[in-house]
A = this chain, B = another copy of it.
Amino acid sequence: MDIVILGSGNVASHLGKSLRNAGHDIRQVWSRNIHHAEALAHILQSQATHQFDRLLIDADLYIIAVVDDAIQEVLKGMPKVAGCIVHTSGSTAMDVMPSGISNYGVFYPLQTFSKEKNIDFSTVPILLEASNESTYGLLKGVAFSISGNVQACTTAQRKIIHIAAVFSCNFSNHLYVIAQHLLEENGLEFDLIRPLIHETNEKIRYHFPMDVQTGPAVRGDQDTLRQHGEQLTAHPDWLAIYELMSDAIWKEAKKGE
């Protein structure tokens, strides 16, 4: 497949590498910043551009992997192309595409991408939506070339999945950030709780989170909750999170009874 990637961030980079490893030809990388385009194009043995009027118009697939806010702008800037156009955003509707384009869709890899770490795409769910059946077939072929977990997904479902992803990935990471601060402020190392974080998540691989909730809030251990609250008074932001999360855990536990 001949592919053009628009974007040079984490999704563009990881997806581009994975597609290239699967044997696709990444013919061009576009980025507003030519240095970023060149850096990624170099890795993908591709050519770079930052000008829409230099965009190749004869590729099979155009993957717009830019921040959500910029998708519309990229779509407006692009010349008319023959191939299929997709974006990779969890929270952007498929019908963001301008009228006049007939083959378009969404190619959403449900994963967190950081420049610090490579991704094994083979187990990453790829959620697809397409404007018509032939486009869906094309996207399915590309998706299956990099992952064994490919599913159809409507815009409405994808938006819910994206919110669930924000809760379980972005927010949980922030809880680790708070833990890191708490430990380091007290001369302790984050390493101490790495085994705990690992185990917490190992449990989730084979159980449902509802079945493995632990801690003072679910036990209704008021002494500990009060004591923790007192210890967090110097950090009102963390205290607010502590109280809100503890209340939510307690409510959830009551609901299950």
Contacts and interface: CB of A to CB of B under 8 A. Distances in A.
Interface of A: 10, 67-69, 91, 110-114, 116-117, 119, 123-125, 149, 151, 156-157, 159-180, 182-183, 186-188, 190, 192-219, 221, 223-224, 227-228, 231-232, 237-238, 240-242, 244-245, 248-249, 251-252
A161 B227 CA distance: 13
Contacts of A219: 67
Given A203-B116, A224-B91, A167 B178 contact: yes
14 contacts: A67-B221, A111-B195, A117-B207, A157-B187, A160-B186, A166-B216, A167-B179, A168-B193, A169-B197, A170-B216, A171-B249, A172-B197, A176-B204, A180-B210
A112 B228 contact: no
Contacts of A201: 197-198, 200-201
A180 B193 contact: no
Nearest to A93: B227
Given A195-B123, A224-B68, A190 B173 contact: no
